[in-house]
Amino acid sequence: MFMKKISFIPLILFGCALFFFARPVQAADQMKTLEYLIATSDSQVSTATDTPFYIYIGDDISGVSNPIKSAHVTLSGTYTGGGQIALEIDSDAASESIYSLPTVANPTPFEIAYKDTGRIDPATAGIYFYTLNIAPSGVTISGLAAKIKISYRFTPVVCDDGSPSSEKIKTLEYYVKDFPAQISTATDTPFSVYIGDNISGVTDPVKSAHFTLAGIYTGGGQLVLEIDSDAASAMSFSLPTVTNPTPFEIIYDDSTAKVNPVSAGTYNYTLNLTPSGLVFSGLGIKFKITHRYKPPACGSGYPPTGQLYSIVLDTTGTSGPAYNSVLWKGALGGPSQNQGKVRLQLSASNSSSGPWSYVGGTTCSSGDWFEAAADTPVEIRCFSQLNNRRYFKYRLQLCSMSDCFSSGFYTPQVDEVVVNWSP
């Protein structure tokens, strides 16, 4: 008997099947940037100052080669005089960088970006403690502030954002207020912070919360900042007298944890500004919060099954064919390509328009399927339902778990279906 093998590769249809199961693809590792406020001073600084700080890593970086890709400190404020500022981490001379500031007659804003060369090197999730050593020489700094940004690789979990057992961390920024008009008197500024993540039950979820005020000032005096008119949260920043309009930036730390959400939702506060002897123009205020959270549960994963139906396929024979075997090419899901299942059914008709009744398995019924591993042909014994019918279609079922009933986290991929028939 003459045997003929026909291989059908309906790429468009397979694309539909994969789309049914589509989820965002996770790389082997991913990147994240976090920001922490590590120092702020409302008094002038002209001598060596040590500032303890910590960073919290909530993601899985275990086993990631060189997870820290960037870590740098931004030091800012307004200075007078001229000289140098030396920066170190943990009093390690190998980490020292010395920055020269030219002599100025008037208070001058500055910003220094200090790169960490390897002192900050966490290897697992957790809290890490350090000290930033600031040593000015010949300069006096007003409104001193320091922030650290750290960018690191991490290994994502199986599902999109993790599971409740893995607490993670993120940084959010909100614009609080802008003032087109000049400000010279006490001003209250209501603002809102929205937390969309699950922080219920997380110990001390807020790891950093600070305001950045920037604009131009004239005069000289103090700016007192509070949250919700709470004197315990007050900081008084001194700005030296200037005769010409001068840019400035002040970073105000929420050191008393007035902004302390405990669950997802909207939280309303008021930032209180009380200038004395100062006039602000173009004042703008931003707020940054870095918090831990519990990512959503992985949920039920992929749907248990997804199906596709082939186009009508023509054996082109004048007499009815005999259908011999069927196989699929591709791979199951999961890291070891052993999770899930692929099942098939066939239907045949003497008309290209059907009717179509799909059967499979050893019982050749609608509730049974042809099952086999990839590249393994399955004998078709459904002679009375399929043979001697010129046209045929197949139905393909992809299962995310081997029982084709439960939901799993991986999906098989089918690249090709091969039907063997003889005239």
Q: What is the pLDDT of residues 113-124, one digit of tens each?
A: 999 988 999 999
| Whether pLDDT at 265 is above 60 | yes
Q: Which of 186, 212, 184 is nearest to 77 (CA)?
A: 212
Instruction: Provide the pLDDT for residue 409.
Output: 77
| Whether pLDDT at 97 is above 90 | yes
> What is the C-alpha separation between 278 and 275, in angstroms, rounded?
6
Higher pLDDT, 32 or 278: 278
Rounded mean pLDDT, 104-114 = 91
Instruction: Provide the pLDDT for residue 14.
Output: 29
> What is the C-alpha separation between 397 and 405, in angstroms, rounded?
12
pLDDT tens digits for 351-386?
Answer: 989 899 999 999 999 889 999 899 999 999 999 999
pLDDT tens digits for 2-60?
Answer: 333 444 333 222 222 322 333 333 444 578 899 999 999 999 999 999 999 999 998 88
Question: Which token pair is 201?
Answer: 């039950």
The C-alpha R_g of the chain, in whole angstroms, comes to 33
Give yes or no for a contact between 295 and 164, defined as CB atoms under 8 angstroms apart. Answer: yes
Instruction: Provide the pLDDT for residue 8.
Output: 38
- At 163, is the pLDDT very low, low, confident or very high (cuts 50, 70, 90)? low
Strand, helix or coil at 166? coil
DSSP string, 245-284: EEEEEEEEE-TT--S---SSEEEEEEEEEEEEEEEEEEEE
Strand 206-227, strand 126-154: pairing = unpaired
- Distances in Å between the Cα of 203 and the Cα atoms of 61, 207, 294, 394, 415 are 21, 10, 11, 55, 48
DSSP string, 293-304: EBPPP-TT-S-S
> What is the C-alpha separation between 181 and 183, in angstroms, rounded?
6
Q: What mean pLDDT is reported for the chain?
A: 86
Instruction: Provide the pLDDT for residue 165.
Output: 58
- At 196, is the pLDDT very low, low, confident or very high (cuts 50, 70, 90)? confident
- At 162, is the pLDDT very low, low, confident or very high (cuts 50, 70, 90)? low
> What is the C-alpha separation between 285 and 269, in angstroms, rounded?
14
> What is the C-alpha separation between 116 and 179, in angstroms, rounded?
36
CATH number assigned to the domain with residue range 171-298, chosen from the 4 options 2.60.40, 3.30.1460, 3.30.1360, 2.60.120: 2.60.120
Higher pLDDT, 301 or 249: 249
> What is the C-alpha separation between 214 and 170, in angstroms, rounded?
24
**CATH architecture of the domain with residue range 28-156:** Sandwich (2.60)
Min mean pLDDT across 157-166, 232-241, 242-251 is at 157-166
Q: Please, is 369 exposed, middle or buried when counting C-beta atoms within 10 Å of its C-beta (0-12, 13-18, 19+)?
A: buried
Query: What is the separation of C-alpha 355 from the centre of its chain, rounded to a whole number of angstroms?
Result: 49
Strand, helix or coil at 94? helix
Give yes or no for a contact between 153 and 92, defined as CB atoms under 8 angstroms apart. Answer: no
- At 299, is the pLDDT very low, low, confident or very high (cuts 50, 70, 90)? low
Min mean pLDDT across 84-88, 194-198, 253-257 is at 194-198
% of the chain with per-residue pLDDT over 70: 88
- At 75, is the pLDDT very low, low, confident or very high (cuts 50, 70, 90)? very high
Rounded mean pLDDT, 240-251 = 92
| Whether pLDDT at 313 is above 60 | yes
% of the chain with per-residue pLDDT over 90: 61
> 4-23+302-422 and 171-298: same fold?
yes
| Whether pLDDT at 300 is above 80 | no
Instruction: Provide the pLDDT for residue 374.
Output: 92
- At 180, is the pLDDT very low, low, confident or very high (cuts 50, 70, 90)? confident
Instruction: Provide the pLDDT for residue 243.
Output: 87
Domain residue limits, the chain: 4-23+302-422, 28-156, 171-298
Give yes or no for a contact between 273 and 190, defined as CB atoms under 8 angstroms apart. Answer: no
Instruction: Provide the pLDDT for residue 166.
Output: 62
> For 4-23+302-422, which CATH class?
mainly beta
- At 277, is the pLDDT very low, low, confident or very high (cuts 50, 70, 90)? very high
